[in-house]
Amino acid sequence: MTTTDLGATAEVSKGLDSPLEIAGVTFTSRLIVGTGKYTTNQIMVDAIRASGAEMVTVAVRRVDLDRTREEAILHHLSPEEFFLLANTAGCHTAEDAIRYARLARAAGFNEFVKLEVIGDEETLLPDVRATIEAAQTLADEGFKVMAYTNDDLITALRLEDVGCVAVMPLASPIGSGLGVVNPYFIREIKRRLEVPIIVDAGVGTASDACLTMEQGVDGVLMNTALAAAKDPVRMAHAMKAATVSGRLAFLAGRMKSREIAVPSSPKVGMLD
Amino acid sequence: MSSTEHIQVRLNGKDRDITFGHTVQSLLEAIEINPLAVVVELNKQILDRDRYSDFDIREGDMIEVVHFVGGG
C-alpha cells in the first residue's frame, strides 16, 4: 500500500478507524457502490476498483434469451473480489420484493439482501409499510436484510425491531444527486438505532459523501454519482477520499463553531 | 419426417413452443444457458440447481430464468 492511498483500508490498518461490521461480516471500506448505469462494463469495473468498495450491489433480472441486452454482471465482477449485495430494486410490493430476494439467495453467494420496495414511481420514495412487512418475512427466513428507507426515525426503528441487520435511510431521492437534505434526521436515526446505518441514495458529489459521513453514520451507498459522472473513475477516487475524510472528521470531533473570529496567532510579541 | 409433439410454455414472459419431453436441465441446454449461472423459477417455485433434471416441463408451465445484472 502506498502512502498516497486514501482508502479506508489504510485508515483501518493505521488504527484511525475501525472496520465496518454488518451481521458479522467486516469491511474495511465504508463506501458501498452500485453497478448500474455505467456506459461500459470496463468503466464500471475500473470505477469500482478505484472506489475501494468491497460490497457492491447487483439487481435480479430475467436473462435476455434473445441476447439483445448486455450479458450477466458476473462476467465482469468476480464474486471472489467483491461481496455481492443483491437488491430488490424495481419491486413495488412486499410480495415481489420477497420473491426477488429469494431468487437472489438461490444464486448461492450470501444471505444478504438490499431490500427496496418502491412506493411511488415519480419520486422512487420507499413504501415503508411494505418495506417493514417484507423485512419481517425475510428476516424470519434467515436473510440478512439491509433495508432502504426514508429518513423517518420511526420507520427506521421498526425496521430494526423486525430484524434488519442494517438500516439505510436515503440522503435524498434515488438518482437525484441532491445530497443530504435532512442531516438532523440522519443523525437522529444513527443516535437511536443499534444496527449499522448506511446512507443510501441521493449523494451527488464528494462533498455530499463527506457531509454524510460527518453525521456519524457507518457507511454510504451510491451508484449514479459514480456512473453518471463525466469521469466515473476519477469521481470514484474522489468519493473514496471523501468517505474517509468525513468519517475521520466525525471521529476526530470538530471544533465548536462560533459567530466571532478568534485569531490563530498570538496577540503578544507584535513589533512596535 | 415425423412431427414432434410441441407444448406451449411461458418462458421469461414470452409464449414459446417447445418440444415435449424436456426437463428444466435439458431446456436450459437447448437454449444455451449455463445452468450454474442462473436461477430458475418454475411456476413461481425456485428450483435447486442440482435438481433441474428432476423437473419435467409441462404444457402451460411458467418458467423464469434470472441472473444478476448491474443495479444500485
**Span B28-56, pLDDT tens digits:** 999 999 998 999 999 999 999 999 999 99
| Residue A178 reports pLDDT greater than 50 | yes
The cell for A154 is: 420511526
Residue A90 has pLDDT above 60, yes or no: yes
State the pLDDT at residue A68: 61
The β-bridge relationship of strands B39-42 and B62-70 is: antiparallel
Check residue A69 and give its pLDDT: 61
**Kind and range of the H or E run holding A190:** helix A183-192
pLDDT score of A155 more than 60: yes
CATH of domain B6-66: 3.10.20.30
Helix A153-161 to helix A183-192 angle (10° resolution) is: 30
Residues in chain A whose beta carbon is closer than 8 A to a beta carbon of chain B?
Answer: 34-38, 44, 57-63, 65, 70, 72-74, 84, 86-87, 89, 99, 102-104, 106-108, 174-175, 201, 221-224
- Quote the pLDDT of residue A4: 40
Choosing among B9, B52, B69, which should be mutated to test the A contact, i.e. which has the most A CBs within 10 A?
Answer: B69
3-state class of B56 per DSSP? strand
* Average pLDDT of the residues in A211-217: 98
Contact between B70 and A107 using a beta-carbon 8 Å cutoff: no
pLDDT at B57 over 90: yes
Task: Identify the pLDDT of residue B3.
Answer: 62
Average pLDDT, chain A: 93
pLDDT at A100 over 70: yes
Integer-rounded Cα Rg, in Å, for chain B is 13
Question: What does the pLDDT read at residue A11?
Answer: 81
What is the percentage of chain A residues whose pLDDT exceeds 90? 89
| CATH superfamily of this structure's domain A8-252 | Aldolase class I (3.20.20.70)
> What is the chain B residue with the closest CA to A175?
B72
ipTM greater than 0.85, yes or no?
yes
| Each residue's pLDDT tens digit, A40-57 | 999 999 999 999 999 999
DSSP run (H or E) holding A221:
strand A219-222
pLDDT digits (tens, 9 = 90+) for B18-28: 999 999 999 99
DSSP state of A126: B
- The C-alpha angle with vertex B12 and arms to A139 and A90, in degrees rounded to 5, equals 45
Q: Report residue A128's pLDDT band, with 50, 70 and 90 as the boundaries.
A: very high
For the stretch A223-268, pLDDT in tens is 999 999 999 999 999 999 999 999 999 999 999 999 999 999 999 9
